[in-house]
Amino acid sequence: MKIAVWHNLPSGGGKRALYHHVKGLLERGHTVVSWCPPTADQTYLPLGKLIEENIVPLAQIPRERKSKLIKKPFSPYRQILNSIQAMDTHCQQCAAEINRGGFDVLFANSCTFFRTTPIGRYVKIPTAIYLQEPNRELYEAMPKLPWAAIPPPAKAWWSSSYISAFLKNLIQVQGLRVLVREELQNAQAFDLILVNSLFSRENVLRAYGLDAKVCYLGIDSELFKPVRVPRKKIVIGLGGIYSGKGLERAVRAVGAIQKEERPDLMWIGNFSVNNYQQKIEQLARALEVNFIPKVRISDDEITNLLSQASVMIYTPILEPFGFAPLEANACETPVVAIAEGGVRESIKDGINGFLINDDNPILISKAISYLLDNPDIVEKMGERARKYVIESWNWKQANGCLENYLLSLIDKNGMVA
């Protein structure tokens, strides 16, 4: 196959998945060329080291000239429209280049801004998108539904302050409605939607009313492997330091362990939101938890720290898949996870970790303490965990699944005999 790739991914799990997908397709003898805007992360697992990557400009459209009185309340709405138009122009340019290149299939990936983009509308070949998740902020209460009405007025509804707030909210919501419309139309334009878990398949069905196919991901067990160092009394977390990873849950769980037995909580993040990290550090001080953040460290240091830790704690809010638990397992470290999202498909309770049915810090702390108090169980569970990852979550299987889906898509569209 000659495969065109499009993405606009930040650093993190989505980019790691794409990198290994591209690497696997190359190893299977396929030709792969990539397109992306300059907003895609070019430093984290850069595709340019594997394949030709075309960076196509993403220009913001100038705003209309209007009086300040009119422009100010409509500014958020116009910004959304301008961003959509800019991405549409970018995708048309990418599609024109792809259409001239003699490609068999487009393998698109998510966009950090819109999740789905109009690239699928403009190419003239079969199209697939690997969608990590829909734009959750538009469909879930995070922390509240964007469609919820503003609070009722404290005074009369016709007061100038309430009318101003009402109109501002009305304009903002209209902008979000445009985003939903565009995201849905973009998703509908793809011939095939691939997702990373059954949980993600349900989310796509819930958000878009569209079916998706599960194409599980893999773990690089040669990169993530145990380093023969002594285990320490450390609980480790892995993932960006921001609200979606639920660090509050982890801090409260560790804080629920008796002080004289309380382990350190180390957190490895590929990025950190400063205000959120400060909030977590304040909570940790209040609960007397030794919170140790590690941001953007090397893979070698990550595997070393995962091998030293006695347990990984996994607390994200409705994470669609989650590399982190399986990466810890590959380093022979068991996982204590809140049983929500995609982790229910990768952690087998009592085999490679423990699943806790809610975010009760007492229940989570008991599972952590059990492992800390029983290093022999940590060792046995860790050995089972690595074997499980190697057998069930390897990139050979994952890329074979992706290859089959792409070949079937081409065949379905009459592109091959």
**pTM across the whole model:** 0.93
* DSSP tag of 355: E
Q: Which domains does the chain have, with CATH numbers?
A: 2-145+180-218+396-412 (3.40.50.2000), 234-393 (3.40.50.2000)
Question: Residue 62: its pLDDT value, please?
Answer: 45
Query: What pLDDT digit, counting tens, does each position of 81-113 carry?
Result: 999 999 999 999 999 999 999 999 999 999 999
Q: Are 357 and 233 in contact (CB under 8 A)?
A: no
Instruction: Give CA–CA dist 272/135, Å, rounded.
Output: 20
Sequence-ordered list of residues with C-beta below 8 angstroms from that of 69, at least 6 positions apart, any chain: none
Model confidence at 142, pLDDT cuts 50, 70, 90, reads confident
Query: What pLDDT digit, counting tens, does each position of 117-134 carry?
Result: 999 999 999 999 999 999
Q: Tell me the average pLDDT across 389-402.
A: 98
Burial state string for 252-286 with b = 16 or more CB within 10 A and e = fewer than 16: bbbbbbeeeebbebbbbbbebeeebbeebeebbee
Residue listed under structure tokens 């492992």: 371
Model confidence at 412, pLDDT cuts 50, 70, 90, reads confident
Instruction: Give CA–CA dist 306/290, Å, rounded.
Output: 17
Q: Counting beta carbons within 10 angstroms of the beta carbon of residue 128, is it exposed (0 to 12), middle (13 to 18) or buried (19 or more)?
A: buried
Question: Residue 141: its pLDDT value, please?
Answer: 81
Query: What pLDDT digit, counting tens, does each position of 143-201 carry?
Result: 788 888 999 888 787 888 899 889 999 999 999 999 999 999 999 999 999 999 999 99
Q: Tell me the average pLDDT across 338-348.
A: 97
Q: Counting beta carbons within 10 angstroms of the beta carbon of residue 136, is it exposed (0 to 12), middle (13 to 18) or buried (19 or more)?
A: middle
Q: Helix 160-188 to helix 198-208 angle, to the nearest 10 degrees?
A: 120
Instruction: Give CA–CA dist 183/134, Å, rounded.
Output: 9
